[in-house]
Structure 1
Amino acid sequence: MYGYIARQPIFDAAKTVYGYELLFRDGEANSFPDIGADEATSKLLMQHHLLLGVESITGDKPAFINFSADTLLHRFPTSINPTSTVIEILETVPATPELLAVCQSLHSQGYKLALDDHDFDPKWDQFLPYITYVKVDVLQFNLLQISRYLRRIAGYTLVLLAEKVETAEQFEKLKMMGFHLFQGYLFARPEMMKQKQVSSSKANLLALIAEASKVELDFELLAGICQRDVGLSYKLMRFVNNSQFAARQPISSLKLAMVSMGEPELKKFIALLALANLADGGVDERLTVALIRARFCDLLAVQKHLSNNPPSAFLTGLFSNVHEIIEQPQPVMLQQLPLQEEIKQALLAKSGLLGQMLQLCLAFERGDWEATLTLEQQISGIAELADVYQQAVRWADSILVS
């Protein structure tokens, strides 16, 4: 399933891209769907920001997103990063005391607000201390009307953004009037983008991976999550039974099962669970490969006496092909995962000891014996690679068995 989004660039006076206005679309026709503003905003955020990251769409430039009355009053904008997003207050939103309180609150939290299609009505003047951008539709008013209004609000520190700029003459006159940013067909039409969507449930699983990178885990929190999901409970018990901790003591609770595993093993479980669900729960061959690589790198780390908390070598192998499973470019995928920088560099550049271990696994996997021997010598202190690989395969099979 794909999510569609239109982005229209916003330029500065030098005609350099400053940011993008993001617009929800329902298909490749690049037309706005016949749905309400609240639903459009919700879909835009769910499909692109909360699941993939708006930054990946805007190239780390500010994203201007429309918010209607209900989404603002219910504080929906606080689910997004204030450094990456500008909250546009639609012209249809009533200027009520409740809205003013919301704007004051959002401003105090570091959010930048914009008045969209501003109509110059004095009722908005009380909002201006909390506003960063004022967007003016330059086709709706003549230049004299705009000039008079700008003189009236000259005492406020505002960034003026001209919308629907269609001619070079307009652009030059608006610059002289004090406009800082510009948007319109003179520069660019909305550009359609299509991205593979990650479902909400999968996005939650990706969030769980953050736990695998923490030094300390919240066992009560994790046990509570599993207790609400029978499938998670079953998978946890199965993972415990396949671990070296299975025979230590009878398991009477999920929390005890987690504690008996120890934090490094539990972190592996969290990452495995996330990856298995990203693969839609089936025995995807790519998932099998990921598990084998994870265990292979983990066993090498044991031989090298590397610290196992967080289990960096295991995570390096496990996430070596997750981008293929979720059909995202690896750099984009890694931006969304809270993995240690050492792991990210091992995955992207094959650098460091973790990168060498991953390279060794890949060389052994494809039967490149010359590269295998070279890497073996570079890493040093490891032995019996064939046995290590066989152990990894057996372990992966034990995890995947239903």
Structure 2
Amino acid sequence: MFAYVARQPIFNAEREVYAYELLFRNGDNNCFPDIPPDEATSKILTSTHLSLGIEEITGDKPAFINFHRDTLMYRFPTSLDASNVVIEIVETVDIDDELVGACKHIRGLGYPIALDDYDLTGRWEPFLPFTSVIKLDITEVDHAKIADIIPVLKKNKVKVVVEKIETYDEFAKFKAMGADYFQGYFLAKPEIVRHRKLGPSGLTMLELIAASATPKLDFDKVNAVIERDPALSYLLLRFINNPLYNKRHQITSLKHALTYMGEVEVKKFIALLALANLSDGQPNELLQMALVRAKFCELVSVLLKELENPPTGFLTGLLSLMDAMMQQSMDELMQKVPISEPVKQALRGEPNLLRDCLEAVQHFESANWKGIKRFAVKYQIKQTQLHSFYNEAIKWGRQMNSSTAARRS
């Protein structure tokens, strides 16, 4: 059985990924079920997706998964590994003694319990003695009340996740209140729009991105850039020798790589190498998101017969978070990197096919199933194909991100 999933990161106070919230849909028959989303998530997960392997989506991070009343009553969460999941009780459940008893039993088996969209009302009181995590929606709960409740919850050893954090100012505000974890899109936006000073290394990285974006790769120029930093040569060869791509041949030089892998693949590696180094000092999730976007946009653009050299779909996704990494506006950055006009247009938010591909992967990031459906209809792509691409992109991004860790550590 194939799985269709979106994941939303949950960050700690250091802006590192602590966990992912997973949202599932039935892609074969009813990708957008006409039933409450929280009920669909839990029922589809437990009935059809247990064979996926949650670790394929989250790596070594815990998975927060929503469960509705029926699945809790029948103890469906116990089919999962208690060491890598957090059971979210959705806010729409009907609460009675039977449900409280079921959840207490699940907690007794070692499963952490989280209350989703906690509204501070007394109806949740019976759950508090065995709840590990409480999630507060900052758009629904008065901020003064959040400030009052956080110390009380922490005193009772309950972790607090604040949701819908859209800006760095909001992140800083609730961090100061003592919240443990944060969910929202603040990481994908610059903290402040300012110029990040580029030293020699940063300028080298921009040169590499520019080289990878030309119609014909200037091998001598790339060699000259990489020779300034022997560690870059090592890392590039490490990428290319990744068993995901190269199972039989050991690549010994950039020239050998160009001959063996072809210009398009080498260009992708060069761009990835450069961006991984430009993101140094920024939250690792930014690079992870950029990698997933790059692979997804590449797969979709190839399906739509956009077979450019350089691979513009890949570049669009890979560079889509460059403004957050560099803490500058995308318009300013596009003046510094000589990439093709369609890629620049997409990154600036101007409508074209590449922009649509980028928005499609953003729909997955926010579990906007209707947006995915609109994209599928517009380009006559099966929704199952898009979900397959996204799953493949997540796995690829995780593997590539691990390959860059040595350079960034």
TM-score by length of 2: 0.48
In our comparison, the structure showing a higher alpha carbon Rg is: 1
